[in-house]
Structure 1
Amino acid sequence: MSDNNTIRMSRVLCDFLVLVLIAIPLLVFHEFVPPYRRGFYCDDETIRYPYRPSTVTRQMLIVVGLLIPIILILATELFRTLAWEKKCEQEFKTYQVRNHSVHRLIVRLYCFIGYFFVGVCFNQLMVDIAKYTIGRQRPHFMDVCRPSVGYASCTEPDKYITDFTCTSQDKKMIHEAQLSFYSGHSAFSFYAAWFTSLYLQARLFRPLFSRLLLPVIQFLLFGGAAYVALTRVSDYKHHWSDVLVGALMGSAIGIFVALYVAEVFKRREIPSCGSPNEFGLIRMDRPDGGSGAPNGNTSTVVSTQHVIVSDIDPANQRLKMKSKDDHGMVHPDQVRPHFIEINHL
């Protein structure tokens, strides 16, 4: 977009082209690149677990992992547009595509959902690079592969076996059995949880009906991610270290994309027409531990200053301060960047 808020279609097409180019290596990995072929010790019990179907399948993870963040982003932007910003329409930018106006809701959805999908591609690309480069066997490798050497009997437990062939006929399962490190399920679920939680924290800048609602949603996101990750261990799909690394990598990418690529906190867009009491001011006590006048003197006049967010630019740095004296008169005061309530004796 240019400085006059005109959206250029060439920029939009370029965005989609970049997204497609990022996705091409994913297709190359899955269709044409064989995983690194590792050997094994025949007495290695960590790869002799039975094969079990996944509690959370790949298809289920993709549908749920993409659908929930998109629904939350859509609901958040709709709520902001129809409820919080209804009285402050004039404070927000208007956008143009050629001779047609575009509502800011469409631009916001394009921005945040687009960045989310870019992060999904980044995350999966890192997963595939690790999987196909390391080629670690899954815990059910022996049950799926049934190698010609070391499966039925283990006469030389200290020998590292590299010359073997899988006797199983299911080539796809044999291929998947060599892609244990690191867990793509864990990485994707924690990426989605971190990106969505940080997005909600930034965009829902004041309490949503209840102060507990947003933390509960964020907790459910991380609880779901943890459940997905733990099932990969209980289903014998990954070693615990694969799941741990996947959770860490997904978290790191989710935080990076949300804070430094999508810049969700710089795009908060807090309007100035909100209620001054919706942020919940925190009272600052006296240094000596008291909260009133010294020596029990209750006749001292106390002046209370309230800080109210009234900025509408993305960084939200401009604050206005109002001061109220003992007569109830309100007058403007200097700017101070503190969300506090200060008592002056």
Structure 2
Amino acid sequence: MPPERGLHRSYTVIHCFVLVELVIMAGTVMLAYYFEYTDTFNVHVQGFFCYDSSYTKPYPGPEEISAIPPALLYSVVAGVPTLVIFITECVVFFLQIATKDFENREKTIVTGDCCYLNPLVRRTVRFIGVYTFGLFATDIFVNAGQVVTGNLAPHFLTVCKPNYTNLGCQQTIRFISNQEACTGNVDDIIRARKTFPSKEAALSVYAALYLAMYITSTMKAKGSRLAKPVLCLGLMCMAFLTGVNRVAEYRNHWSDVIAGFIIAVAIAAFLAVCVVHNFKRRHSESEKTQLDNLRNKPMINLPRVASPMEKYPPAVQNHITFAEVT
């Protein structure tokens, strides 16, 4: 293949990447940091009824002793999709070189006299960059929902330890909206007010859905029609079990988990469909020719009926035709 056929010159790709995409990514990371590790945004103080059975579940302990601790969840969510995307893009790139499949390979972008962006770097940065942006966007949406709603965890009253006698709950069931009604550990109380939506459920479903869309749309596995569906369904099942575990340990309500699922599905679907345009693979020239032939081919092929004249020799056919005319 001539070198010029695989090159595409562009002087704006680097400037667009540095001035736009990196700025957006930096702003997203900073906003997620402020939500996660600072007190810039105060959690809404939601009231509760005395002896409300919805919030009297036993305290499951700190997050570190959970069946799916945050360190394990964040490592899997951040590391597994990145590793899978990188390995897949490398394998596809070198297979295209080995088989000389240049029709399906993207062009190398020339950004100057000495700067080249080959398809491997472009595709890897595109997929991983969009995934990382969506991961931080999911975290921002979830943290914003937790701060605004201040929804109470199933074990809230267990860590709140309200003094029902001083609150006047002995005579009648009252609605307590006093911020100083709790006497328990302040950090545990704040964490128990940040449950809607469930962050763990949202991040796990986002990672599983994005990776499932990537695998379905980019991997070409010939010979097995069930390999990709089984792999994608396995990823989704593990993400669903993360939400089930949150409910089983009394750390979230079902409504918290479902809200996290909805946010993650919406963000992953939007990024996969509207942002990443290369989920749909390109057709080669031979495939395009076959598709064009199929489009031009008639839908119904009627059987051919032989004419009675074809049963006779040509001389007899001419005699019969002359007789019919006269």
Tell me the TM-score range normalised by the shorter chain. Answer: 0.7 to 0.9
Residue equivalent to 2:149: 134
Contact kept? 1:42, 1:150, Cα under 8 Å: no
1:235-282 per-residue CA deviation (whole Å, 9 max, x = no partner) reads 11101111111112211111111111113434x23445xxxxxxxxxx
Is residue 2:17 matched to residue 1:27?
no
| 1:17 maps to 2:28 | no
Structure ID, larger Rg: 2
Structure-to-structure mapping, 1:259-274, within 5 angstroms: 259-266=273-280, 268-272=281-285
In structure 2, the partner of 1:300 is: none
Match of 2:295 among 336, 339, 342: 336
* Equivalent residues in 2 for 1:1-345, closer than 5 Å: 4-5=9-10, 8-14=13-19, 15-30=21-36, 31-32=38-39, 33-52=41-60, 53-84=65-96, 86-91=98-103, 92=105, 93-98=107-112, 99-149=114-164, 154-156=169-171, 158-163=173-178, 164-169=180-185, 171-204=186-219, 206-208=220-222, 210-266=224-280, 268-272=281-285, 310=287, 319-321=288-290, 334=293, 336=295, 345=303
Q: How far is 1:335 from its partner?
A: 5.2
Counterpart Cα distance in 2 of 1:118 and 1:135: 25
Q: 1:34 to 1:7 in 2, by over 3 A?
A: same
Q: Percent of counterpart pairs with the same letter? A: 26
Aligned residues: 285
- In the superposition, the TM-score normalised over structure 2's length comes to 0.78
Aligned alpha-carbon RMSD (Å): 2.8
Q: Within 1, Cα distance between the matches of 2:116 and 2:101? A: 15
- In structure 2, runs of 5+ residues without a counterpart are 1-6, 304-326
* Secondary structure of residue in 2 paired with 1:158: coil
Deviation at 1:66, TM superposition (A): 1.5
Report deviation, 1:148. 3.2
> Displacement of 1:232 after TM fit?
0.5
The one-letter code matched in structure 2 to 1:19 is: M
Secondary structure in structure 2 of the residue aligned to 1:320: helix
Q: Are the equivalent residues in 2 in contact too, given 1:187–1:250 (CA < 8 A)?
A: yes
Q: 1:151 to 1:134 in 2, by over 3 A?
A: farther
- Select between 155-164 and 190-199 the one with higher mean Cα deviation: 155-164
Cα distance in 1 for partners of 2:226, 2:31 equals 42
Partner of 1:137, secondary structure, is coil
* Shift in alpha-carbon separation, 1:6–1:213, aligned structure 2, 3 A: farther
Quick one: distance in 1 between partners of 2:226 and 2:199?
31
Paired residue type of 1:334: N
Question: 2-side partners of 1:337 and 1:107: how far apart?
Answer: 36
Distance 2:221 2:72 in 1: 32
| Structure 1 residues 334 and 41, CA gap change in structure 2 (3 angstroms) | same
Cα distance in 2 for residues equivalent to 1:232 and 1:343:
59
Contact 2:168 2:174 in 1 (8 A): no
The question of whether the paired residues in 2 share the 8 Å contact of 1:7 and 1:95 is answered with no
Give the 3 Å change call, closer, same or farther, for CA 47–270 of structure 1 in structure 2.
same
Aligned equivalents of 1:172, 1:58: Cα separation in 2: 17
**Rounded Cα–Cα distance in structure 1 between residues aligned with 2:166 and 2:125:** 53
Give the Å deviation of 1:342.
Answer: 8.4
Deviations 1:51-106 (A, max 9, x none): 11422122221110121111221222122112255323543301234303332111
